[in-house]
Amino acid sequence: MKIGRRKREEAEVESSSLNDIMFFLLLFFLIASTLANPNVIKVMLPQAKTTSTVSPKSIPLTVRRDPVNPDALQVFIEQQEVTYEELESKLKALRDQYQDPNSKDAGLVVVLRADAKAYVQDLVDVMQVGANLGIKMVLATEKNEK
């Protein structure tokens, strides 16, 4: 009696779906890279011996509730306290002082530092004054350490 050997099946890796996966990955990265900087046009900039950068002046504006009288609002421009009624005229004077006549953009950026216990309406009122004057305002926060 002749006992024959069984044919051994060799292991194969199916790679037919690998082409589809690679195509989708390539398509995803092409679309993602296009959306990352859609308005960037690469140009060779001319060279100069001296350069100057124009950076806007940033002024800190602090808003908090008065510790003695919680119903009263305190507003500080840099270190100087101003009343809410004087705020518009002070910001207008600062805007005009740092305004570049050649540019329509304001040369002034107000960094709004608000106490965590200040009311949201107080912040909105102060930001509305800046918006009416065309001043860019940025809200400063602290990083949460957790």
Give the pLDDT of residue 14: 81
- Give a yes or no: residue 36 inside a domain: no
CATH number at 108 reads 3.30.420.270
Q: How many angstroms separate the CA atoms of 112 and 61, rounded?
A: 5
pTM of the model: 0.56
Asked if 95 and 108 touch (Cβ cutoff 8 Å), the reply is yes
pLDDT at position 144 is 67
Q: In what order do the strands lie in the sheet with 108-114?
A: 80-82, 73-77, 57-65, 108-114, 136-139
* Residue recorded with tokens 């900087």: 37
Q: Is residue 75 part of a domain?
A: yes
In a domain, 1, yes or no: no
pLDDT in tens, the chain (146 residues): 667 677 777 888 788 888 889 999 999 988 887 776 555 556 656 666 765 555 677 888 888 888 888 788 888 888 888 888 888 999 888 888 877 666 665 578 888 888 877 888 888 888 899 889 888 888 877 766 66
For residue 25, what pLDDT is reported?
Answer: 93
DSSP codes joined into one string, 38-97: TT----PPPP-SS------EEEEEEEEE-SS-TTSEEEEETTEEE-HHHHHHHHHHHHHH
Q: Which amino acid does the sequence have at 145?
A: E
Task: Specify if 125 maps to a domain.
Answer: yes
What pLDDT shows up at residue 112? 86
Structural domain tally of the chain? 1
- The pLDDT value recorded for residue 48 is 65
In a domain, residue 20? The reply is no
> What is residue 104's predicted lDDT score, i.e. its pLDDT?
60
What is residue 55's predicted lDDT score, i.e. its pLDDT? 64
What is the residue range of 63's domain? Answer: 57-139
Per-residue pLDDT at 138: 84
For residue 38, being part of any structural domain is answered with no
In a domain, 113, yes or no: yes
Q: What is the pLDDT of residue 42?
A: 61
Tokens 């690679």: give the residue: 22
Question: Quick check: is 12 in a domain?
Answer: no
